[in-house]
Structure 1
Amino acid sequence: MLVYRVFPYLESAEPGEPGHPLYEHRPQRGGRIDHPDYYVWYLARQSEAACGETFGNLARWTDDMFEFPALPGARKSLGTYKLPDDLRVCDLDDPTQLAELGLRPTQVISRNLAATATWGHKIWSQHSPAIEGRKWDAVQWWSFHRPQWTVLASWVRPQFVDAVALDLAHPAIVDAAAALYRPL
């Protein structure tokens, strides 16, 4: 399956360095299900969702939102990644799954990091007798900004496919801005 994320891209970055498409910033801070024991890849099923999740809190979208001054020469880009088609995904848009986990939709979408980290760790910790090891490779839910968008947190490292520099004319930015009623 193809998935997307926005990240600060630096073409000259080597693997393991900031700006590389597979760079793992440690420690992670502020993500919905960040945890000190494992790394989480936050991705979206739709390219416009990746853009909307990244820039959705900005009232006005301008070209300077793509700059990344913390890493000289880097610019926010849309990365395309591949995850295995047989990835075991815990779908929190499934009412049966919510009931099994004892979760309410408001607990999933809440921006309470302590609460979301708790359910994220609970899902990560589940084991299955049918499979040796963890029951889930990833968890997905609906976007805070637009419920039609699906966001995903994967404990499996994705394979990098491509990166495209973002600008205000990029189709994913245009679509996300229109969906979120953000002027360009």
Structure 2
Amino acid sequence: MKPRRLFRVFPWLENAKADEPGHPLHINAQQGSGRVDNPDHYLVLYASDVPVGAIGEAFGNMAIWSPGLLAGPPILPGSQRALATYEVGETEVLDLDDPHSLVERSLRPSRVVTRERAVTQHWAMSIHSDGRWGGVRWWSYHCPEWGSFGIWDRDRVEVSEVRPLVSEMGLVQEASLTLNRPWKGQ
């Protein structure tokens, strides 16, 4: 499959350069705990196929949502959470939501979304090693209607838009309702 547009929530610094924290293309080299991470071999841009999915993935593990989620992390002073839109061009992505892809790899659906990272990172490394794929897609752990993506071939990824999450409160509230997470505060 060739997704055209993906979305991600990240801590944004408006004047950050592409290789600096706060830029929408910056990837932390300290990866290792994500579903498809293999930082000794590649770095991953995690994204969603819908804006509300990107928000849900970013905050889905939080029991209560509040305005504090929209601020950037203390380690990146002056940052704020933003929603980036990416154009991914002709990047070929293996779709693990397609049963044929699972059968070809002898991969069970439960192994795709397990929280056991050694398992998911193993199948991700196998897919990356094929050399055919620029990334992988699976269904979101939080809401299976959302497609989650890990893109390791980032050369074709371009940023088309960045919007502060404070300007996207409708999407934030939609994600909180979808995931049954209460919103506390203004």
Query: TM-score when scaled to structure 2?
Result: 0.90
Distance 1:15 1:92 in 2: 30
Provide the residue aligned with 1:91 in structure 2: 95
**What SS does the corresponding residue of 2:174 show, helix, strand or coil?**
helix
Distance 1:104 1:144 in 2: 15
For structure 2, list consecutive stretches of 5 or more residues without a partner in the other structure: none
Instruction: Give the AA of the match of 1:9.
Output: W
| 4+ aligned runs moved over 3 Å, structure 1 | none
Provide the residue aligned with 1:165 in structure 2: 164
Provide the residue aligned with 2:182 in structure 1: 183
Distance 2:94 2:63 in 1: 32
Match of 2:5 among 2, 25, 41: 2
**What SS does the corresponding residue of 1:140 show, helix, strand or coil?**
strand
Which region of structure 1 is more displaced relative to structure 2, 156-165 or 103-112? 156-165
Provide the residue aligned with 1:76 in structure 2: 81
Distance 1:162 1:78 in 2: 8
Match of 1:31 among 24, 31, 34: 34
Deviation at 1:30, TM superposition (A): 1.0
Deviation at 1:168, TM superposition (A): 8.4
For structure 1, list consecutive stretches of 5 or more residues without a partner in the other structure: 127-133
CA offsets 1:105-134 (integer angstroms, 9 cap, x no match): 0000101110000000000111xxxxxxx2
CA contact (8 A) 1:63 1:168 kept: no
Query: TM-score when scaled to structure 1?
Result: 0.91
Provide the residue aligned with 2:151 in structure 1: 154
Deviation at 1:156, TM superposition (A): 2.1
CA offsets 1:31-67 (integer angstroms, 9 cap, x no match): 1111111111111000000000010111111000122
Which region of structure 1 is more displaced relative to structure 2, 153-162 or 73-82? 153-162
Distance 2:87 2:168 in 1: 25
**What SS does the corresponding residue of 1:78 show, helix, strand or coil?**
strand
